[in-house]
Amino acid sequence: MYVITTLTGENEAARLEALQEAVAGFAAAHGEMAVERLDGEVVSYERMREAVQSLPFLADRKLVVLRTPGANKEFVEFFEAFVASVSETNDVVIVEPKLDKRLSYYKQLKKLSTFTEFTALDANRLVRFVCAYVKKQGGTISSGDARFLVERVGMNQSALQNELDKLMLYRAHISRESIEQLTEKTPQSSIFDLLEATFRGDQQRSMALYDEQRALKVEPQQIIAMLAWQLHILALVKTARGRSADDIAREAKLSPFVVRKSQNLAQNITLARLKTLVTHLREFDIRTKTEGIIPDEAVRLYLLQLAQ
């Protein structure tokens, strides 16, 4: 009897690991020649159907791995017929990084296959992932430094894994010092520092952080968008009326790290001023799009005015 498995979800690292385990296990049991891989964005529906219908070559079973077959309209339209055409000697793994849950294709996958969705880890689970991954690779890292790394690099598990591999090549024990030396802050993390310096009235630090972002090829429009997002988070925190960081993070679907940092920043700003900042930023954004104002100069002026 054939088995059809679907692997989906935004957690690329976990999804890839599951795929690698499935392929490695099948190859160990039936041989490398028993695995066939097809890209649904490239091959035709007929080619995919042929792959699951044809008999294994020099093996008793065959595994067909289909990446993003949903990109093929025929595959989606005739999915039930495709499933019915799978040979008893063949297993199928369908990899769909992103699925629209409103479509019938999504419902059919859940109904007709062993369906696993890999969701993104929240901040606390990412810290546990970092500690477990480092330990598995024979290294060491404290939970505090793992938290610092997540806050610095961001919430993308694949990016974190790549950074951990790099850090462990340098030294088996990962410290805060090595993290600062060998990794770069994500633009969003740096934008928070920029906003913090600006609110402190430190114009020199604010401009230095802005110049760092521009040197990293972060465009002024992107910085405006990230500033708007940080102000949005500050507004959420400011109006949360004493609720805990975990409660705010859970309800707003934010990282607890981000909320806690924003809570500290929000203590030094009134809600009235926050509203004014949002209004001014929106006005700057509109003017850069309608009045021909140079975006780089507009953002610098906005930050300097904030820091006064």
pLDDT per position as a tens digit, 55-69: 998 889 999 999 999
What is the average per-residue pLDDT within 25-48? 95
What is the average per-residue pLDDT within 222-242? 85
CATH domain 187-306 topology: Zinc Finger, Delta Prime; domain 3 (1.20.272)
Torsions phi, psi for 161 (to 5 deg)? -60, -40
pLDDT per position as a tens digit, 162-183: 999 999 999 999 999 999 999 9
pLDDT per position as a tens digit, 120-157: 887 788 899 999 999 999 999 999 999 999 888 887 88
Report the CATH number of the 4-117 domain: 3.40.50.300
Q: Is 236 exposed, middle or buried (0-12, 13-18, 19+ CB in 10 A)?
A: middle
Q: CB–CB of 139/173 below 8 Å? A: yes
Q: Where are the domains of the chain?
A: 4-117, 123-182, 187-306
| pLDDT computed for residue 189 by the predictor | 64
Report the CATH number of the 123-182 domain: 1.10.8.60
